[in-house]
Amino acid sequence: MLAIKGGKPVRTKPWPAWPVYDERETKALEETLKSRFWGGGVGESGPKEKEFEEKFSMFHGCSHGVCVSSGTEALHLALLSIGIGAGDEVIVPALTFWATGSAVLMAGGNPVIVDVDKESYCMSFEEVEKSITSRTKAIISVYNYGNSPDMDKLFEIAEKHGLALIEDCARAHGFMWRNKPAGSIGDIGCFSFQQGKFMTAGEGGIIITNNRLYAERCRALRTCGRIRGDDVYSVGVEYWWNWWNFRMTQFQAAILLVQLERLEEQTKTRQANSEYLSMRLSEIEGITTLKIDERLTRHQPWPYLFKYDSKCFENIPVERFVEALKAEGIPCSTIDHPPLSMTLTARGSRSRIIRKPKYPVAESAIREAVTLPQSIFLGTKEDMDDVVEAIVKIKTHLGEL
């Protein structure tokens, strides 16, 4: 009997706990406490922050890193640093967390929402190309569902039309496209360290770039407009005066330094488990896994996504299937965020959001996508087998639903 009807769930064992920490975080926090340097650096980065900015940006192929308070702020400041302002159009994908679009509004620009590709569920480069106008200034690409848009094409389009390419890597720590780290392919990469992300300090974000001017502008923007006195680029950022404070604390940076040490190993584990799960799920009629682009040489799922075809499940709607799967002890959900065309709203600035009449692929995702959280992929192959077993169990007891 299905667990949702009172039967025994397939899975009762706990899943890997998230976030992961050990005595190294405890030690780093204690050291920071005793150092009495707790706050973010005001003019310069604080000591832990500086160390983290150097290590994280180097790991991701960039020479500059600027810690900020969140992934949303990373995007916001990145957009300001490239000069986005009133009337500028920035192309964003329909499937993403709404910060990708709201950051454009915050910077004063107009987000142009385009549909995603049906194979990858990431930004469709064909839709990007069709949406370019004389007002387009930038593209924000997003790595979603452990997958990537076609970064070769997006780079080519950006070059051809003289647009900035910002990579929203909030869900892509440690990813590589043709062995080049995510965040270093376009002009600027933006990461989040919010609680659920692959690396976390509870909250936080970082901007990485190989462009020194953009980095200096972001540094000034995050700390009430202060400019590093001795920097030759200061002159160029003088007019960026503003009153915002988006600094990160040394405690966050101290934790993130330890989290970075685990990233490579955890990525390998998640990638191997997600590939194994995809292989096993392909045995089930009515379940289709996402096609991960082969050029994405290192990846991990955030979240993992598979497509559910209700026709092969006696027309049981995806929401009911998800309830049944949860009852079997598998943490899962329907699509984590409905298309941006539906979720992005802003009082007073609605007219600045540029929507297409329809988003056939993103809209179909609501009816067919099931997602699993990243943390379960830190487990074992046997854990993945439990996911498969639970789906097969539901499929063989559909009459009970």
Ligand X SMILES: Cc1ncc(COP(=O)(O)O)c(C=O)c1O
Task: Report yes or no: 297 and 314 within 8 Å, Cβ to Cβ.
Answer: no
Q: Which is nearer to ligand X, 199 or 376 (CB)?
A: 199
Helices (H), 71-150: 71-81, 99-106, 125-130
Q: Select the residue interacting with ligand X from 171, 217, 219, 247 (CB under 6 A).
A: 171
Other Cβ atoms within 10 Å of 239 Cβ, number: 9
Binding of ligand X at residue 99 (CB under 6 A)?
A: yes
Q: Which is nearer to ligand X, 110 or 141 (CB)?
A: 141
Q: Give one DSSP letter per residue of 145-184, joined into a string.
A: TT----HHHHHHHHHHHT-EEEEE-TT-TT-EETTEETTS
Q: C-beta of 303: minimal distance to ligand X in Å? A: 10
The 36-75 site mask, x for binding ligand X (CB under 6 A), equals ----------------------------------xxx---
Task: Report yes or no: 138 and 103 within 8 Å, Cβ to Cβ.
Answer: no
**Separation CA 230–CA 240 (nearest Å):** 17
Binding of ligand X at residue 386 (CB under 6 A)?
A: no
Task: Report yes or no: 372 and 301 within 8 Å, Cβ to Cβ.
Answer: yes
**Separation CA 390–CA 110 (nearest Å):** 44
Q: Which is nearer to ligand X, 198 or 313 (CB)?
A: 198
**Separation CA 89–CA 131 (nearest Å):** 10
Binding of ligand X at residue 390 (CB under 6 A)?
A: no
Q: C-beta of 147: minimal distance to ligand X in Å? A: 12
Q: Select the residue interacting with ligand X from 97, 308, 313, 359 (CB under 6 A).
A: 97
Short-list 132, 190, 121, 120, CA closest to 156? 132
Binding of ligand X at residue 223 (CB under 6 A)?
A: no
The 318-337 site mask, x for binding ligand X (CB under 6 A), equals --------------------
Binding of ligand X at residue 147 (CB under 6 A)?
A: no
Give the helix/strand (H/E) hosting 191. Answer: strand 188-192
Q: C-beta of 6: minimal distance to ligand X in Å? A: 36
Q: Which is nearer to ligand X, 106 or 287 (CB)?
A: 106
Task: Report yes or no: 295 and 376 within 8 Å, Cβ to Cβ.
Answer: no
Looking at beta carbons, which residue is closest to ligand X? 71
Q: C-beta of 31: minimal distance to ligand X in Å? A: 25
Task: Report yes or no: 324 and 386 within 8 Å, Cβ to Cβ.
Answer: no
Give the helix/strand (H/E) hosting 64. Answer: strand 64-68
Residue at 42: amino acid letter:
V
Q: Which is nearer to ligand X, 205 or 339 (CB)?
A: 205
Binding of ligand X at residue 300 (CB under 6 A)?
A: no
Q: C-beta of 199: minimal distance to ligand X in Å? A: 11
Binding of ligand X at residue 142 (CB under 6 A)?
A: yes
Binding of ligand X at residue 194 (CB under 6 A)?
A: yes
Q: C-beta of 230: minimal distance to ligand X in Å? A: 31
Query: How many residues of this chain bind ligand X (CB under 6 A)?
Result: 14
Q: Which residues pair with 188 in a beta bridge?
A: 166, 209
Q: C-beta of 69: minimal distance to ligand X in Å? A: 8
Piece of the chain touching ligand X by CB under 6 A; list 93-101, 220-228, 276-284, 370-378: 93-101
What is the footprint of ligand X within residues 198-217 (CB under 6 A)? Answer: 205
Burial of residue 152 (CB within 10 Å: 0-12, 13-18, 19+) is middle
Give the helix/strand (H/E) hosting 116. Answer: none
Binding of ligand X at residue 149 (CB under 6 A)?
A: no
Binding of ligand X at residue 137 (CB under 6 A)?
A: no
Give buried/exposed letters for 257-284 (b at 16+ CB in 10 A, else e). Answer: bbbbebbeebbebbbebbbbbbebbeeb
Residues in the chain, how many? 401
Q: Which is nearer to ligand X, 184 or 194 (CB)?
A: 194
Q: Which is nearer to ligand X, 303 or 329 (CB)?
A: 303
Q: C-beta of 70: minimal distance to ligand X in Å? A: 3
Q: What is the CA radius of gyration of the chain?
A: 22
Chain residues binding ligand X by CB under 6 A are 70-72, 96-97, 99-100, 142, 168, 170-171, 192, 194, 205
